[in-house]
Amino acid sequence: MDFCIHSRTVEIVMTTIKDFDCCRVVCNSPGAVHIIPDLLSVKTRELFLKNRAAELDREMGLIRTQEETGRHVRMLTHEIRSTLDRHTILKTTLIELGRTLALEECALWMPARNGLELQLSYTLRHQNPVGCTVPIHLPVISQVFSSHHAMKISPNSPVARPRPLSKKFMPGEVVAVRVPLLHLSNFQKNDWPELSTKYALMVLMLPSDSARQWHVHELELVEVVADQVAVALSHAAILEESMRARDQLMEQNVALDLARREAETAVHARNDFLAVMNHEMRTPMHAIIALSSLLQETELTREQRLMVEAILKSSNLLATLINDVLDLSRLEDGSFELDLGTFNLLMVFKEVVNLIKPIASFKKLMVSLTLAPDLPQYVVGDEKLLMQIILNVVSNAVKFSKEGSISIIACIAKPESLRDVGGLDFFPVPSANHFYLRVKDSGQGISPADIPNLFNKFAQNHALGGKHSGGEGLGLAISKRFINLMEGNIWIESEGLAKGCTAIFIVKLRIADNLSYSEHRLLPTAQANHCQANFLGLKVLVMDDNGISRMVTRGILIHMGCDVTVASSGKECLQIVSQEHKVVFIDVSTPGMNGYEVAIRIHEKFASLYKRPLLVALTGSSDKVTRENCLRVAVDGVLLKPFSLDKMKSVLSELLEKRVPREANP
């Protein structure tokens, strides 16, 4: 079929026909005018719904993105916090970020030791050598450190440093974020120290030659991960410090335990040494004092008697020093304990005066004793310790006084007078049935500057003692320790040399009640009784393993008129002892069968109490263990070496006096 171009007339005719048709349709449809607005409204509504659907799609996409970001954050946080090792945390962070964000490289720059550089410490792909550094004051680093958000930086930045790319590849976008170092004690690669720089730098690079860009949710993910890494690092650092402190504490505990064991071993060794030396020193001292006292009983010239008295005086001083050293040793290792009991307080002062008067008379010194009328007669305390304290203080006054008098005043310390005594280290605590005993002793004056030295061990005060005083030894030093044990204090008051000096001490004692008084019984002591008994023909058995000590004791008893038998061992003693023996002296430190076991065997051998001989323990120690053992085996008396003739007479007299009523009522 052939087509040709219509004429202009035909086109006009056709157009006119169409216009007439339109007019006819319009004329035939009068309601079309009302339909058109509705159609326009529907079209507008359809466009609005499409826009709304697009917005909802975008919101759903954002929600899905946030959920995905949250899932990645939780996953990364779990991986990061699955360990508390700081190096593992950092390596895990780079690996998980690289996997989640499909990174080409991820690097962590830590502050260097000098605080002036950042050091590349960890990388994901190892594109750059670990250990390289960049100045910390670069503008790009300062910009990142000053912002809380992740920032895009130039791929050519020194901290990005991608590997060389060919010209046809374009580097990917690079983001950097700071990592707060919240707690970094000793935190640096290869023993990181405390750092002045408070941030590390994390750099993340997208793959090269890709159109991919960083999205907002990815940047938020990086920021959250950086904060989580900071928290994990702080926890790890705290844990490491705790573990390090625990290890140090364990090492210290091990060292302390070792030191404690060594100290205990040293204390035991020292105590064993002192026990042996105590026994070994007292044996010759016993011989010197006992034989000198026997020598005094013979006819001597005046010059000889003076020499014997000098020997006795020096021997007694040496024996006192031995006792002080042993007591001080027990004080220092904490093994010294008070031996509390009921005793006659007034008799203690009278005995002290009786002991001091002969020495004071020799130096032409007057000794006076003043006891307050309100002093109780019987008190509870350590009688031996109190007597030793009074003797030390008064003897010190006698020793350093050349003329004049020595006055001793004892009274109950009034509550108001306790407030201003003794300095800051004394805090009196009054309680029911207790009182503070105040003793004043006046002697020669002393310079106030020398007073503090009086209580030092082995101190020598030249201004006070001079050349011939013999030193101060341990008297006042050990007395102060004893007084502290008795909840008291001691101090010296002096106006100056040759102007008088007053030594004052206070000790706490308890008033004896009726029960304590009824149970009180006086043990045999050197000062208990000085009456003279008739010892002629008294059968006595002496058991001592030391030949010299045995000979000395035998000599004293023979001088007293006793019929003496000796034994060198416990076994020999048990074979010899019989009803004819009235007294058996037993050295408790005899090797093999010791004196305590011998005493028990003698008790078993003599069933009847009045047929058994009196048992006297000979010992060089007066500690608590010795006293408890003597009470356990029920000996009748204790004689402490070294002893003199007078002491032997005193102890033996009292024992025999107690034996008389026992035999009268079997």
Q: What is the pLDDT of residues 400-433, one digit of tens each?
A: 777 777 888 888 877 666 555 555 455 555 565 6
Structural element, H or E, at residue 501: strand 501-511
Band of pLDDT at residue 543, cut at 50, 70 and 90? very high
Q: What is the pLDDT of residue 634?
A: 85
Q: What is the pLDDT of residue 257?
A: 92
pLDDT: which is higher, 11 or 79: 11
Place of tokens 């002045």: 196
Long-range contacts of 108-111 (CB under 8 A, 24+ apart): 108/179, 108/200, 108/201, 108/202, 108/203, 109/134, 109/159, 109/200, 109/201, 109/202, 109/203, 110/188, 110/189, 110/192, 110/200, 111/136, 111/181, 111/188, 111/195, 111/196, 111/197, 111/199, 111/200
226-268 pLDDT, tens digit each: 887 887 777 777 777 888 888 889 999 999 999 989 988 887 7
User: What is the separation, in whole angstroms, between the first and last Cα of the chain?
Assistant: 173
Instruction: Supply φ then ψ for residue 388, to 5 degrees.
Output: -65, -40
Token pair listed for 255:
């060292």
**Least confident span in 27-41, 199-213, 490-504, 622-636:** 27-41
**What is Dmax (Cα atoms) for the chain?**
189
How does strand 583-587 pair with strand 539-543? parallel
pLDDT: which is higher, 185 or 301: 301
Q: What is the pLDDT of residue 663?
A: 39
Band of pLDDT at residue 485, cut at 50, 70 and 90? confident
CATH node for 65-243? 3.30.450.40
State the Cα–Cα distance between residues 447 and 497, nearest whole angstrom: 5
Q: What is the pLDDT of residue 523?
A: 41
Token pair listed for 182:
């919240």
Inter-axis angle of helices 216-296 and 547-559, nearest 10: 40
323, pLDDT greater than 80: no
665, pLDDT greater than 60: no
- Please report, rounded to a whole number, the percentage of residues in the chain having pLDDT higher than 90: 5
1, pLDDT greater than 50: no
464, pLDDT greater than 60: no
126, pLDDT greater than 80: no
**Least confident span in 30-39, 240-249, 462-471, 578-587:** 462-471
CATH fold group of domain 539-658: Rossmann fold (3.40.50)
SS3 618: strand
Band of pLDDT at residue 123, cut at 50, 70 and 90? confident
37, pLDDT greater than 50: yes
540, pLDDT greater than 90: yes
Band of pLDDT at residue 76, cut at 50, 70 and 90? low
Q: Measured at the alpha carbon of residue 56, what is the angle toward residues 55 and 58, in degrees to the nearest 5?
A: 65
- Please report, rounded to a whole number, the percentage of residues in the chain having pLDDT higher than 70: 71
Closest CA relative to residue 91, chosen from 82, 80, 101, 104: 80
**Least confident span in 24-28, 257-261, 479-483, 655-659:** 24-28
Closest CA relative to residue 618, chosen from 592, 583, 646, 653: 583
Summary mean pLDDT of the chain: 75
| Helices (runs of H) and strands (runs of E) counted in the chain | 16, 18
pLDDT: which is higher, 423 or 483: 483
Closest CA relative to residue 173, chosen from 124, 138, 219: 219
Sequence-distant (6+) residues with CB within 8 A of 600 are: 633
Q: Which of 9-18, 447-456, 483-492 has the highest mean pLDDT?
A: 483-492
Closest CA relative to residue 171, chosen from 138, 111, 133, 213: 213
State the Cα–Cα distance between residues 417 and 420, nearest whole angstrom: 6
Mean pLDDT of 35-43: 71
Q: What is the pLDDT of residue 396?
A: 77
162, pLDDT greater than 80: no
Q: What is the pLDDT of residue 563?
A: 92
Band of pLDDT at residue 457, cut at 50, 70 and 90? low
Q: Where are the domains of the chain?
A: 35-63, 65-243, 337-460+471-511, 539-658
pLDDT: which is higher, 204 or 29: 204
393-427 burial, b at 16+ Cβ within 10 Å, e below that, comes to: bbbbbbbbbeeeebbbbbbebeeeebeebbeeebe
pLDDT: which is higher, 452 or 601: 601
625-662 burial, b at 16+ Cβ within 10 Å, e below that, comes to: ebbebbeebebbbbbbbbbbbebbbbbbbbbbeebeee
Q: What is the CA radius of gyration of the chain?
A: 53
Q: Is the distance from CB of 644 to CB of 288 less than 8 angstroms?
A: no
**For the residues of 536-595, what is the DSSP string, one character each?**
TT-EEEEE-S-HHHHHHHHHHHHHTT-EEEEESSHHHHHHH--TT-SEEEEETT-SSS-H
Residue 662 DSSP one-character state: H
Q: What is the pLDDT of residue 316?
A: 73
602, pLDDT greater than 70: yes
Closest CA relative to residue 463, chosen from 453, 472, 450: 450
**Least confident span in 25-29, 217-221, 345-349, 560-564:** 25-29
Q: Tell me the CA distances in angstroms from 135 to 63, 120, 194, one per residue in order.
A: 41, 12, 19
Q: Is the distance from CB of 360 to CB of 366 less than 8 angstroms?
A: yes
Inter-axis angle of helices 645-664 and 547-559, nearest 10: 70
pLDDT: which is higher, 395 or 185: 395
CATH fold group of domain 337-460+471-511: Heat Shock Protein 90 (3.30.565)
Sequence-distant (6+) residues with CB within 8 A of 534 are: 561
190, pLDDT greater than 50: no
34, pLDDT greater than 90: no
